[in-house]
Chains A and B, each alone.
Chain A
Amino acid sequence: MDVGIDNFRHEKVQRFEEFVDRRLKPDLVHAIAERDKVFEQQKVFSDLRRNIENLEKNCITNLRTLVNLGSEVYVQGDVPDTRSIFVDVGLGFHVEFTWSEALKFISLKEERLARQIEEYTQLIASIKAQIKLVCEGIRELLQLPAERTVEGRVF
């Protein structure tokens, strides 16, 4: 009997561990990577917003800048009229905005990005919780003494 139970337990522990290693952990890694991407986007748009606000504040209508051709080779670029700006709205579309329109769009976009980040954070937290749950299940199966404080620290 004992041997049978032990075998059963052993199998179950193994299956739980596999679930953690092959499903939950890759999911977690993926979710974190996605959230990082969104963070980047957020940074890009906040930069853009700051730049446009700068232009507005200084009333810059024409602009000299350096254009990166790749491999850190720059050529001078001249922008005769800065009042119309093309902003990436996603999926490869760029829309021509004025400064105020652009700022409005950017604030919307930032809001959305913040929501996305929140979602991803939730997702990551839930995945971590699941991992912890499964680990706890394994511990119970093996009838090890609870080490909650220690496990709490791990995640």
Chain B
Amino acid sequence: MEAGRAKGTVTPLSFLFPAQDAHKAATRVQDAISEKERELEHLLGFISDNANLINLVQKLPEELHHEVMVPFGKAAFFPGRLIHTNEFLVLLGEGYYAERTSKQTVEILKRRGKALDSQVDSLKAMMDNLKAEASFFDATASEAEEGLVEIREEYVEENLGEQESGSGVNKQDVPSVSGVDGPKIVEEDAEYACIMSRLDELEKEEELAAANGDQSDEEDEEEKETADQSLEKFYDDKQSYSKGSTSTWLRDENVGSKELLDKYQQQQEASTNPSNCSGLSVQSSSKEDVSSGKNSLAQTQRVRNPNPAAKSVTFAEVKEKNQRSPPSTREAFTGSIIERPPAIPKTSKQETGTPLQPSGSQPSKPVSRFKMQRR
């Protein structure tokens, strides 16, 4: 990593693999290849012989007898003929012969042909391997001649940790949020950083949106841009806590806001939304929007007032963040819940009297608090 320390080693390739040796190896492999080629030719000869024989055996029974020269030893033959042309004596191996008809003989021969084919295939595969090897040796030789060097460096795992430590905020968040102390996986840190920054953005946007309700478009686009993965995970976590009304709030922010743009303009609140939750969220958000930014702002302020103590403590901040942060564990949530009670009544008043009120009320609360802190 650092220039000062020489962690790696540099070895010229020609030291490891002298060009001459590489060439020698290449030629040796080439020899092996040519040998295999000869073998292959041999096998191909067998295969063609076999095919011819199959043809012959198939045709022999067409006639009762064939005029041929019957070999008598290797150097002589008699004029004669083949008789009993549908009876063949086939070697099974180990000196055992079987009497077969033409058809049966053809089957045997075809099986032999298959064995030969598989042999050819394996031989070809071996030759391919050898060729790859030869090309590798050639490449190595040429590289060694060109003076290529090999650079090696040990992989040190600490590096990642050091990099991560740079972002102190995240680290602080991690223990507080998760409540699980001790070494957390570095990845999670990164994820938190991502999510937290994203949340900050979202909050800003929400402020803007609250100010002028129609701006929610921008939110959506930006959402897409930022790390989707982390957000998704976030949502999943939140949804799993469907009890915790925060999920609905989140919906408001993200999913709800998207649909809001369209639907809010059309004044359709819950009709099109797939799930109850989302429907609720839409309602609440739409109401916020409908009521116009001022209304929402007013909400936030009200919320703020009831629990000043929580705000004053810095931990409260953290907890709020936790609410929004994806990996929220139970503990994180409990923190948020504690803060809720004062807020609920106020929001519920604002919201319409639907049975879903609690969900609606909660979403508004966290937002408001955060805004307060920011200001």
Chain A contact residues, CB within 8 Å of chain B = 44-45, 47-48, 51, 63, 65-82, 84-88, 94, 102
Contact = CB atoms under 8 A, between A and B. Distances in A.
B55 to A, nearest CB: 11
B88 A73 contact: yes
Given A47-B74, A63-B70, 12 more contacts: A67-B82, A69-B56, A71-B49, A71-B50, A73-B53, A73-B88, A77-B68, A77-B81, A77-B83, A78-B65, A86-B76, A88-B74
Contacts of A77: 68, 70, 80-83
Contact of A44 (B74, B89, B112): B74
Interface string B37-55: 0000000000001101100
A128 to B, nearest CB: 30
The DSSP consensus for interface residues of chain A is strand
Given A71-B50, A72-B90, A86-B69, A48 B75 contact: yes
A75 B85 contact: yes
B57 A67 contact: no
A78 B75 contact: no
A75 B84 contact: yes
Interface of B: 49-50, 52-53, 56-57, 60, 65, 68-85, 87-91, 97, 105, 109, 112
B61 to A, nearest CB: 10
A44 B70 CA distance: 16
Contacts of B105: 73
A71 to B, nearest CB: 5
A51 B82 CA distance: 21
A137 B70 CA distance: 58
Contact of B76 (A63, A66, A87): A87
Contacts, number: 101
Contact of B77 (A68, A71, A94): A94
A73 B73 contact: no
Contacts of B56: 69
A80 B109 CA distance: 31
Contact of B73 (A51, A66, A79, A81): A51
B78 to A, nearest CB: 4
Contacts of A51: 72-73
Given A67-B82, A77-B68, A44 B75 contact: yes
A76 B84 contact: yes
Nearest to A83: B78
A80 B49 CA distance: 30
12 contacts: A66-B89, A69-B56, A71-B50, A71-B53, A73-B88, A74-B89, A78-B65, A81-B78, A84-B78, A86-B79, A87-B75, A94-B76
